[in-house]
């Protein structure tokens, strides 16, 4: 078993803070380019996930949970980050290249101070996203119709890497996507910047909080916060969720024997947030996460279902769907999820 890696991969604060700046180091950019990211400006990036390719090759028959649960077409999804290399946590299950992995320091926890405007970010992201999609044109399984649709994305997932609330113009970024005729915009935040969430005057189509622990003790082991009073800030963000009109989600990324514990604690936090949905999901051993836990340490779908069943009993949320390929279960306060597209 590789569980010892959970606790033998200490944070090197001297590396993290060795460069007092908020720009993205060139070494980091090159690392992500090797991983088939496309850099969109000074601090933003895009990448197509495997479901884009599967949806294109099967004309939508194979698709990710966002399509199954919420109607978002997988082949028309643009996955991006406006905060490459910047986050307030160093989660055990995170796949991103951290200072510890690269041995290169930068100030990754502070809000960006040298930044591109939202309009240019969206335009650059669309351009770079299309550069990734063009390659599917040579695949005989990809129809012209699906390729053309994929080249005109209608969904923006602000979730690729980093913490999006560290981009100070996040509010205007959401609006910029809408202005470019995107039908839906998702934001996935770790909840450590409640003030930024509170100031989101332009609501996304759906707002996620990654809540990966039932209590502060488990949170510190699992998410390894890089800022002070992180758990307190997350609790504030859960309270703020009640003020949103769009659907809200608590995402639980789970690893057995680490944070897949105290289901009652998760249930209490669900009631505190009063979120529309809960999404327990297995953490994946991919990217840099492989240094911390292996495939054998990942939760099986049956384990996620058992966790979801107990969570349903304790929280009052109903289990309404699942996708075993993604090891995810959907719990909801609604009888049916809201189709967003």
The answer to whether residue 306 is domain-embedded is: yes
For the chain, what is the mean pLDDT?
91
Rounded CA-CA distance 171/149 in Å is 27
From 9-13, 90-94, 225-229, the region with the lowest mean pLDDT: 9-13
C-alpha dihedral over 148, 149, 150, 153, to 10 degrees? 130
The confidence band for 20, taking pLDDT boundaries of 50, 70 and 90, is very low
The answer to whether residue 121 is domain-embedded is: yes
Rounded CA-CA distance 188/213 in Å is 16
Total domains in the chain come to 1
Q: Which residue matches tokens 């949905």?
A: 277
What's the pLDDT at 24?
76
The answer to whether residue 104 is domain-embedded is: yes
What's the pLDDT at 280?
98
pLDDT for residue 18 is more than 70: no
Please state the rounded mean pLDDT for residues 207-227.
Answer: 97
The answer to whether residue 267 is domain-embedded is: yes
The CATH code of the domain that includes 100 is 3.20.20.70
From 42-46, 98-102, 169-173, 257-261, the region with the lowest mean pLDDT: 98-102
Token representation of residue 254: 């789970």
Q: Which residue matches tokens 């101070």?
A: 113
What's the pLDDT at 102?
65
* Nearest one of 214, 291, 222 to 255, comparing CA atoms: 222
The answer to whether residue 338 is domain-embedded is: no
The answer to whether residue 337 is domain-embedded is: no
pLDDT for residue 40 is more than 80: yes
The confidence band for 98, taking pLDDT boundaries of 50, 70 and 90, is low
The answer to whether residue 72 is domain-embedded is: yes
Please state the rounded mean pLDDT for residues 67-74.
Answer: 98
Identify the top-confidence range among 87-96, 98-107, 318-327: 318-327
What's the pLDDT at 100?
65
pLDDT for residue 97 is more than 80: no
pLDDT for residue 3 is more than 70: no
The answer to whether residue 340 is domain-embedded is: no
Look up the domain containing 80 and give its range. Answer: 3-332
Rounded CA-CA distance 319/330 in Å is 6
The confidence band for 241, taking pLDDT boundaries of 50, 70 and 90, is very high
Tell me the whole-structure pTM to 2 decimals: 0.92
What's the pLDDT at 30?
86
* Per-residue pLDDT reduced to its tens digit, 127-177: 999 999 999 999 999 999 999 999 999 999 999 999 999 999 999 999 999
**Residue 7 buriedness (CB in 10 A; 0-12 / 13-18 / 19+):** exposed
Helices (H), the chain: 13-16, 26-34, 50-57, 65-70, 99-102, 118-133, 144-150, 170-179, 194-198, 216-223, 230-240, 263-273, 301-315
CA 313 to chain centre: 27
Rounded CA-CA distance 237/6 in Å is 26
175-206 burial, b for 16+ CB within 10 Å, e for fewer?
A: bbbbeeebbbbbbbbbbbbbebbeebeebbbb
CB 151 within 8 A of CB 133: yes
User: In the 8-state DSSP scheme, what is residue 91?
Assistant: -
């Amino acid at each position: 078993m590789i569980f010892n890696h959970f606790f033998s991969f200490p944070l090197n604060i001297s590396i993290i803070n060795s460069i007092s700046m908020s720009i993205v180091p060139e070494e980091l950019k090159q690392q992500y380019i090797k991983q088939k990211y496309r850099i969109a400006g000074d601090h933003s990036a895009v990448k197509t996930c495997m479901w884009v390719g599967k949806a294109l090759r099967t004309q939508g028959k194979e698709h990710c949970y966002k399509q199954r649960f919420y109607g978002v077409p997988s082949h028309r999804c643009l996955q991006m980050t406006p905060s490459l290399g910047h986050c307030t946590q160093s989660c055990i299950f995170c796949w991103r290249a951290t200072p510890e992995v690269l041995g290169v320091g930068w100030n990754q926890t502070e809000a960006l101070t040298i930044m591109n405007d939202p309009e240019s970010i969206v335009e650059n992201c669309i351009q770079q996203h299309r550069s990734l999609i063009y390659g599917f044109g040579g695949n005989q399984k990809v129809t012209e119709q699906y390729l053309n649709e994929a080249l005109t994305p209608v969904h923006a997932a602000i979730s690729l890497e980093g913490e999006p609330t560290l981009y100070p113009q996040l509010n205007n970024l959401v609006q910029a996507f809408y202005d470019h005729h995107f039908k839906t915009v998702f934001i996935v935040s770790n909840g450590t910047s409640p003030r930024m969430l509170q100031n989101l005057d332009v609501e996304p189509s759906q707002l996620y909080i990654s809540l990966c622990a039932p209590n502060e003790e488990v949170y510190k082991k699992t998410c390894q916060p890089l800022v002070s009073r992180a758990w307190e800030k997350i609790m504030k963000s859960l309270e703020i969720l009640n003020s949103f009109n769009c659907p809200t989600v608590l995402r639980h990324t789970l690893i057995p024997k680490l944070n897949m514990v105290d289901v009652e604690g998760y249930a209490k936090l669900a009631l505190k947030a009063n979120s529309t949905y809960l999404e327990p999901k297995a953490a994946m051993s991919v990217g840099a996460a492989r240094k911390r836990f292996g495939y054998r340490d990942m939760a099986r779908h049956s384990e996620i279902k058992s966790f979801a069943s107990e969570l349903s009993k304790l929280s009052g949320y109903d289990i309404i769907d699942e996708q075993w390929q993604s090891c995810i279960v959907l719990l909801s306060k609604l009888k049916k999820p809201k189709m967003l597209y």
